[in-house]
Chains A and B, each alone.
Chain A
Amino acid sequence: MKRLAACGVAVVALLALCVLSLCVGNEWIGPGAVYRALTDFGGSDVDRVVRYLRLPRTVAGLVVGAALGLAGGLMQGVTRNPLADPGILGVTAGAAAAVVGAIGLLGVHSLTGYVWFAMGGALVTTVVVYLIGGAAPVRLALTGAAISAMLGSLTSAVTLLDLSTLNEYRFWVVGSLSLATGPIVAQALPFVAVGTILALVLGQSLNQLALGDELAQSLGTRMILVRVLAGAAVVVLAGTATAIAGPIGFVGLAVPHVARRIVGPDYRRLLPWSMVVAPMVLLLADVLGRIAVRPAELQVGIVTALIGAPVFIALVRRQRVAEL
């Protein structure tokens, strides 16, 4: 009963944040006008701002948030590392390096072009990390960190050699939801759906994995399979999120800990909760970013770092970060 109530509160809060995200911006647009813009599109400036700027942005917040929350929860489960996030397998670095390569070496300049490179870069990097690192969590994390560092310096090298790439790459250094447009989000949806299903199916296996390798093995968990599937889900989820919004930190790291405090360590509940809490955090951060420095906007990646870092430090200091 209590759990159901919490669930209700979360859903209502998420919906309220969606409405807020549609109303708040450079200028406040009332819910009535937003409703008319969505149902009875007349082509006015207000209609266009709602339909072509704020709606894709809000949907992107939901999709990217859900993907990052899930990917973070998965990473922490599969590596049994409370500080794990999608970055640890080199997913973000791989996506960014591929995007910069696409811009600098292949001359790809449209956002729809980046998407596939980001996904490909994430996938290739993760496969390489798995091949080198093997299955053990510590080796995997170390390999991921090493590959990330290597890709990071490659990215720097390309951008330093080519200034016009550097200019475009700046947009990829800090994530932003306003890069999203309707077609891009639509293109990304199937990927996130597949990743989500995969992630939710793995809940029980992650619970067994949390007991330690030996116990998990004796319970019949096929650990390599679980790790490969979880890795695949993370690549799809985090790769797509990065393709839509660029790299956004802290959400994948901090949100699973918040979810853990609400529903405990059971991954069958923790993962869906991460999926709901993360978009809330992201939408709130984005709305704050829109009003903080008008007439400019603060990228959501900056806001999540600004809010996320202190919250996470507080969690750590109060020793609420669960031992995994």
Chain B
Amino acid sequence: MAVVRVFAAVLSLSLLAGCGPAAEARSGPGATTVKNCGIDVTVDGPPQRVFAAYQPAIEMAHALGISDRLVGTAYLDAEVLPEYAGAQAKAKYFKNLPSREELLSLEPDFVLSGFNDVFSAAGSDASFGSRKSLADLGVRTWIFSPLCPTADGKGDEAIDPSTVSMDNVYADLRELGRLFGVEKRAEEVIADQQRRIAAVEAAVRDAPRPTVAIVRPGLEGGGMTVSGGPDFGTVLIRQAGGVNAFADLTTKRNVQISVEEFIKRDPDYVLISGCCDASLTPAAAKPDVDELLANPAFANLTAVREKHVIPWLFANHSAGVRGAHTTENLGRILHPDLVR
């Protein structure tokens, strides 16, 4: 039965696409067009059937107050922030990303993604198809602008580090606010984020700046995976009064380095970012922290000697409305006497 429904939905959508202009950039009266990652996103009225993929997109949707327009949410990296827990409990949730067909069967008119690989041709999560291919079916799409690839269909390897900023998160909020007709709410969210981040920045202004490494647990290919320059963690660490120890590596967000390189850089703080389950808390990274602390190769590291290896969340260093939360959290970790 479900199969038939999916088939019917896909069929009707492809027929719709076949009708040409109907699904193409509609620009009737009341239409709103906003540019996102070089693509014009045009809606006739506020989208009513939104699919949110990945943690940042899901939290953004709840923050904007459009939880009741969500037809589906997928792939949480960790528990959602407490203020969104109630709304998320009511949303339809997919543990893994749905396939393109499954997505289309939900008949979304808007897909909000907190990670670019889902629209990329060869990304780790390639599944929805390119943004253009969805637009052809009348489905509008949005990638968070600190993650803009240089071209539609590309992924994480094509992020311009200069776009990685909180300002771009605010721009997203403002523009999504326009598209969804929730401008006032968007401005409130922006003001709240700015106020909280400014408070941390002011508190740590004159403090020394420790170097911080964000590490994905486990040995990947025998090396380690750390957050490089284009990762949003770089911005969040800076706001909290630190420096990303690997900010100069700018080829990708997640960069693989050798264990020896890690030892050479000797970061003051190591955050182990546990990932990818809707019920995940920082405690999940504890075994990886213990493993790192017990490894004799790392015994000389400043972070190990001072016990500054901290179980953390991958979700924390994503671009989005978690920015203020993470800046405060990092401020408390890096400068416990200055930030409360």
Q: Which residues of A contact B (CB under 8 A)?
A: 25-27, 43-45, 48-49, 51-53, 109-110, 160-161, 163-164, 167-168, 170-171, 174, 176-179, 181, 290, 294-300
Contact = CB atoms under 8 A, between A and B. Distances in A.
Contact of B258 (A45, A52, A294): A294
Interface centre among A161, A168, A178, A179 (most CB of B within 10 A): A178
A52 B276 contact: no
Contacts of A44: 300
A296 B257 contact: yes
Given A26-B264, A48-B297, A296 B276 contact: no
B296 A48 contact: yes
Contacts of B222: 171, 176-179, 297, 299-300
Contacts of B277: 164
Given A45-B264, A170-B221, A174-B221, 16 more contacts: A43-B300, A48-B263, A51-B296, A53-B259, A163-B276, A167-B218, A167-B275, A171-B219, A171-B221, A177-B222, A181-B295, A296-B256, A297-B221, A297-B256, A297-B258, A300-B222
Interface in B222-258: 222-223, 249, 255-258
A177 to B, nearest CB: 7
Interface residues of B, number: 29
B287 interface: yes
A178 B261 contact: no
Contacts of A109: 287
Interface string B198-234: 0000000000000000000011111100000000000
Interface centre among A171, A296, A297, A300 (most CB of B within 10 A): A296
B85 interface: no
B150 interface: no
B68 interface: no
B275 A53 contact: no
A291 B222 CA distance: 14
Contacts of A43: 299-300
A321 B288 CA distance: 47
B188 interface: no
A110 B287 CA distance: 9
B287 A49 contact: no
B295 A52 contact: yes
20 contacts: A25-B260, A48-B297, A48-B299, A48-B300, A49-B297, A109-B287, A110-B291, A160-B96, A163-B75, A167-B275, A168-B218, A171-B221, A174-B221, A176-B219, A176-B222, A179-B222, A181-B295, A295-B261, A296-B257, A298-B221
B268 to A, nearest CB: 16
A171 B220 contact: yes
A51 to B, nearest CB: 8
Nearest to A246: B222
Contacts of B300: 43-45, 48
Nearest to B96: A163
